[in-house]
Amino acid sequence: RGNGFGTSALAEEELITPPVQINYTQNLINGQFVDSASGKTFPTYDPRTGEVIAHVAEGDAEDINRAVSAARKAFDEGPWPRMSAYERSRILLRFADLIEKHAPELSALETWNNGKPYEQSLKSELPLLVRLFHYYAGWADKIHGLTVPADGNHHVQVLHEPIGVAGQIIPWNFPLIMFAWKVGPALACGNTIVLKTAEQTPLTALYVAKLLHEAGLPPGVLNVVSGYGPTAGAALASHMDVDKLAFTGSTSTGKVVLELAAKSNLKPVTLELGGKSPFIVCEDADVDKAVELAHFALFFNQGQCCCAGSRTFVHERVYEEFVEKSKARAQRRVVGDPFKKGVEQGPQIDLEQFEKVLRYIKSGIESNATLECGGGRLGSKGYFIEPTVFSNVKDDMLIAKDEIFGPVQSILKFKDIDEVIHRANSTRYGLASGVFTSNIDTANTLTRGLRTGTVWVNCFDIFDAAIPFGGYKMSGIGREKGIYSLQNYLQVKAVVTPLKNPAWL
């Protein structure tokens, strides 16, 4: 099938993407595309219209069993953990080159299934993907243990070994980037993987997994199963033969998978969960620049970012001007068909998220926040929502407490730095924060006071592969990216042998 351009409202000359085919809809197990064990499929949609674009194999517990067996065998007997780290590195480099070569098709498929603007996917997300696999290819042959002096009578080697079969569960908001954050470090360390994609966005992971095999990945090392959370996801989290679980999604599901892991084989779990990130605009801020950055911090990816700057705290001295300009900026935001040039915002992912966001907007209005602009649906089909700005938001309103995961900016007023640190930290989340100031002392005070895994100062959403990412408090456990994610995928083995003639330490 084509990507529906013929039927869309777009004029031919406005098309900016190559036509894309959906070639892979089956589960990828042991290097082969196969139907689900039950023979069942489920529909996947185009969020621009709500129409079905493909039927995908629906994996459940039996498919997870088959995928885990393949991964287990590939780990216990296969070449991947045993080959030279240099060779693993070269496969990852070849894979990065293939992603680069296929970037236009991959971006188009991502847009078709997820709704994010094609230009955003092609120009900012695909380069991050390539960079990430280059980065972890670079690590593959630099992971090594150490020796420790111990008591002088023993020779002690500390080996860093791959942890085994990794189970990985990812969400729908950045299907390809979440694939990369999980798969990159796990492969660099020599592990094998069973990855479950989000039911809303199964398509691009299957496409890139195929490219990874083209790059030389042995069969069984990466297995990709599509399916729903309570069936396929839960089976993976509770599987006795999975040695490690990595999850990204909502905090409530994070608790469920942590419990499943604990009740089965006590596999270690890393979690990347929700957030309610503060973006703090100080009194010395250049208001125009602050407005633009705060707008980006919230509205990027249709507001569907775990780290979205969803509480915009603005100093009272610049508050009025900031609100006026933020409203004007939101009204200028270009919303429309994400395949179209210049579009900044596409549809929300699905009907459930669309309705949830509209419910939060209603709650903001009912709690007497000031609706500056937006607030409703755009168009009559698909899941488009008007860029929405609330001012006069108070800390105890639902829109200031819950993760909305949509294009809804909440602007709050503050007076001084200690107060804003306290209020910014008064949340169960601690994923990220943004600080906008030209005063180095203010920046230092804020960066040390904020209890979040990332603090972006005068920037936001910088996701380079080398920068660790993860949450304090209920935003998660552990870090992804950077050197920190290697620890998630390694076991540490101490090998102790007596020294016959301790000569020197």
Active site residues: 272, 306
**What minimum distance in Å lies between the beta carbon of 478 and ligand NAD?**
11
H or E element: which one contains 332? helix 319-332
**What minimum distance in Å lies between the beta carbon of 177 and ligand NAD?**
9
The SS3 call for residue 113 is helix
Residues that bind ligand NAD (CB under 6 A): 169-173, 196, 198-199, 228-230, 233-234, 237, 248-250, 253, 256-257, 272-275, 306, 403, 405, 431, 476
**What minimum distance in Å lies between the beta carbon of 181 and ligand NAD?**
8
Which is nearest to 99 in space by CA: 240, 205, 250?
205
**What minimum distance in Å lies between the beta carbon of 43 and ligand NAD?**
15
**What minimum distance in Å lies between the beta carbon of 235 and ligand NAD?**
8
Whether 44 and 200 have beta carbons less than 8 Å apart is answered as: yes
Q: Which is nearer to ligand NAD, 136 or 172 (CB)?
A: 172
CA atoms of 201 and 224, how far apart (whole Å): 13
Counting Cα atoms < 13 Å in the Cβ hemisphere of 135 gives 25
- Tell me 229's DSSP state: I
Q: Which is nearer to ligand NAD, 88 or 182 (CB)?
A: 182
E strand intervals along 197-320? 222-225, 244-248, 269-272, 278-281, 311-315
Q: Which is nearer to ligand NAD, 205 or 314 (CB)?
A: 205
The SS3 call for residue 167 is strand
Whether 47 and 350 have beta carbons less than 8 Å apart is answered as: yes
**What minimum distance in Å lies between the beta carbon of 431 and ligand NAD?**
6
Q: Which is nearer to ligand NAD, 299 or 405 (CB)?
A: 405
CA atoms of 462 and 472, how far apart (whole Å): 18
Q: Which is nearer to ligand NAD, 98 or 432 (CB)?
A: 432
**What minimum distance in Å lies between the beta carbon of 238 and ligand NAD?**
8
Neighbours of 147 (CB within 10 A): 10
Output the six-digit token pair for 489: 């995928």
CA atoms of 178 and 192, how far apart (whole Å): 17
Q: Which is nearer to ligand NAD, 229 or 434 (CB)?
A: 229
Question: Using a CB cutoff of 8 Å and minimum separation of 24, what contacts does 436-440 make?
Answer: 436/279, 436/280, 436/281, 436/282, 436/285, 436/289, 436/290, 436/293, 436/294, 437/280, 437/282, 437/284, 437/285, 438/284, 438/285, 438/286, 439/282, 439/284
E strand intervals along 7-135? 27-29, 32-34, 41-46, 51-57
CA atoms of 431 and 424, how far apart (whole Å): 12
Q: Which is nearer to ligand NAD, 188 or 237 (CB)?
A: 237
**What minimum distance in Å lies between the beta carbon of 500 and ligand NAD?**
51
Strand-pair partners of 29: 32
CA atoms of 314 and 435, how far apart (whole Å): 10
Amino acid sitting at position 301: N
Which is nearest to 351 in space by CA: 136, 191, 200, 134?
200
Q: Which is nearer to ligand NAD, 301 or 326 (CB)?
A: 301
**Residue 170 main-chain phi, psi, to 5 deg:** -125, 160
Kindly report the CA angle at 362 between 359 and 364, in degrees rounded to 5? 110
Q: Which is nearer to ligand NAD, 17 or 301 (CB)?
A: 301
Question: How far is it between the farthest Cα atoms of the chain?
Answer: 82
**What minimum distance in Å lies between the beta carbon of 202 and ligand NAD?**
10
